[in-house]
Amino acid sequence: MAEKITVGHVHMSGCTGCLVSLADNAEGLLTILDKYADLVYGLTLADVRHIPKMDVALVEGSVCIQDKISVQEIKETREKAAVVVAVGGCACYGNITRFGRGGQPNQPQHESYLPVGDLIKVDVYIPGCAPCPQLIRNVCVMAYLLLKGTKDQQELAKKYLAPLMQLAERGTEACGCDLMYDVVNQGLCIGCGSCAAACPVRAITHEYGKPNVNREMCIKCGACYAQCPRSFFNFDVVTEFEAISDLIAGALK
Amino acid sequence: MGTELGKYKLCVSARSTDKDILKKAQDGGIVTQLFKFALEEGIIDGAIVAGQGDEPWRPRPFIATTVEELMTTPGTRYNISPQVSWIKEATRSYGLDKVGIVGTPCQMQAVRKGQLYPVGLRDVDDKIALAIGIFCMENFPYQSIKQLVEDHAGMKLESVKKMDIGKGKFWVYGARGQVVQLPLKVTHKYEQPGCHVCLDYVSNLADVSTGSVGSPDGWSTVFVRTRKGDDIWSKAIGAGCFETKPIEQVKPGLEMVSKLANEKITKNQKTVEERAKFGVNKALRNPYIKP
């Protein structure tokens, strides 16, 4: 068996829902930990106090800039990890922590929460609240192939991860408004309904065949835009859906 | 013929052997017949189809879990039904483990992207049991169809029996037997703008895709594309669901499908290129490059 990669779960200001999503891969997670990845850091899961050197850091949650330890740890994560993956809406875009303004008991002065990408460079985004277990799984498998796979597998992993890396480059702000700004206003919407299906709070309906976002309900997780086939559509990868699905299923056997 | 028809294992001209389906169907009744067979055999336990919405000729996604429900939905509406919006709900509220879905090429793209990049589609990726794609040159918003039928064709939507696009014309058939044809030149400006960057005519990413083009009246051209599609199609053939003819033996045949596919792709590729220099040193967004 080929060498495993090392993975850590870094917990910033999040609800642990992302970690639960990772765990929701059930046997799939056990296969990943068995064959492809050693968990070298993770709250409650690995008995390690300080952030170690690792191949992939899965970061959950946004960073409270009034909390010195969080700020220090996220910087340390960037130093220690070859690849930083922002897992979930909070790490990518702030998500509901965007609405935080402090005042909560114990630490009322903790009022400012920033997406990870506002403090360090993030390599890959997995948006959504909670992020989908299967997308986390796919990214884990692809990260393994990228670092330890054959040349062909590395090429595939690069192509697969490219749009998720481009999402990370795109910025740290997300909102249902993105559907208007970057899809409908750009003359690209085809009214397929992917956005509405992806929305975790059911804030999206369709008016005149196009999405209508209830902005009071939108939590800014970024799922709708990332799911839209007109945010990104990489023919070279999606056209191979059958072979890639087989590959991932095979890897988890 | 090159990549314009996508990958496929098999292409035939076919029609349903069920008289009832043929009577209601747009052409050969392929979608309805295949879903009916899949429902009866337990290959799917429900299908997201285009059901009747709140207004006449307005479709809405509808989950048919019985053949009776399915039989209320045949035919083409020529306006948008956000099929994919129900894909997660089908596996939740409806508890389906094996979902069928019919849609346009772009909706098939959405489904496959959703399976490979399930950002907000938890537990959906392995539950798509049969995705049937239709051929599509472009689609219309509901308001456009209303305008075409009521303003241009001079008919009330509620009195329309069938709509069809074929032989270079948009056909509206009235309940009392009247037929109005509009040249496609008239309909073009009402098309959904998002369709103009679409580079797929024959649902390249479906399990099975079908449309009237290439086959004689009352028949449909069928592409069987994936392992799943092949498995279901061959079972359906074995069960006598379809009458088929080799595509090489029918007129106008595959050449016509290829011709229209290339026309669409060439035209829309040009639109994509024009969008790159739409403003003064300002481009419109290209989803095929990056998000």
Q: Number of CB pairs < 8 Å for A and B?
A: 173
pLDDT value of residue A45: 81
ipTM comes to: 0.97
Task: Report the mean per-residue pLDDT for chain A.
Answer: 96
Rounded Cα gap, residues B109 and B206, in angstroms: 8
> Which stretches of chain B score pLDDT less than 70?
1
Q: Are A23 and A33 in contact (CB under 8 A)?
A: no
Q: Mean pLDDT, to the nearest integer, of A221-227?
A: 98
Whether B203 has its CB under 8 Å from any CB of chain A: the answer is: no
Q: Are B54 and B61 in contact (CB under 8 A)?
A: no
Q: Do A187 and B196 touch (CB under 8 A)?
A: yes
Rounded Cα gap, residues A146 and B85, in angstroms: 33
Whether B87 has its CB under 8 Å from any CB of chain A: the answer is: yes
- Chain-centroid distance of CA A148 in Å reads 21
Q: Do B284 and A187 touch (CB under 8 A)?
A: yes
Q: Where are the domains of chain A?
A: 5-173
In the three-class reduction of DSSP (H, G, I as helix; E, B as strand; rest coil), residue B192 is classed as coil
Rounded Cα gap, residues B78 and B190, in angstroms: 12
Rounded Cα gap, residues B210 and B32, in angstroms: 11
pLDDT value of residue A43: 82
Rounded Cα gap, residues B199 and B205, in angstroms: 12
Of A65, A64, A220, A239, nearest in space to A159 by CA: A239
Q: Where are the domains of chain B?
A: 9-136+201-276, 140-191
pLDDT value of residue A2: 63
> pLDDT tens for residues A158-181?
999 999 999 999 999 999 999 999
Nearest Cα of chain B lies from the Cα of A112 at a distance, in angstroms, of 26
pLDDT value of residue B166: 84
Alpha helices in A94-170 (DSSP H): 133-148, 151-170
Domain B140-191 fold is Nuclear Transport Factor 2; Chain: A, (3.10.450)
Q: Bridge partners of A38?
A: A6
Of B225, B208, B192, nearest in space to B100 by CA: B208
> pLDDT tens for residues A105-117?
999 999 999 999 9
pLDDT value of residue A192: 97
Residues A164-203 as b or e (16 or more Cβ within 10 Å = b): bbbbbebebbbbbbbbbebbbebbbbbbbbbbbbbbbeeb
pLDDT value of residue B117: 98
Whether B191 has its CB under 8 Å from any CB of chain A: the answer is: no
Nearest Cα of chain A lies from the Cα of B37 at a distance, in angstroms, of 23
Domain A5-173 CATH assignment equals 3.40.50.450: no
Q: Mean pLDDT, to the nearest integer, of A190-197?
A: 98
Alpha helices in chain B (DSSP H): 19-24, 30-40, 67-70, 87-92, 105-116, 142-146, 184-187, 227-238, 254-276
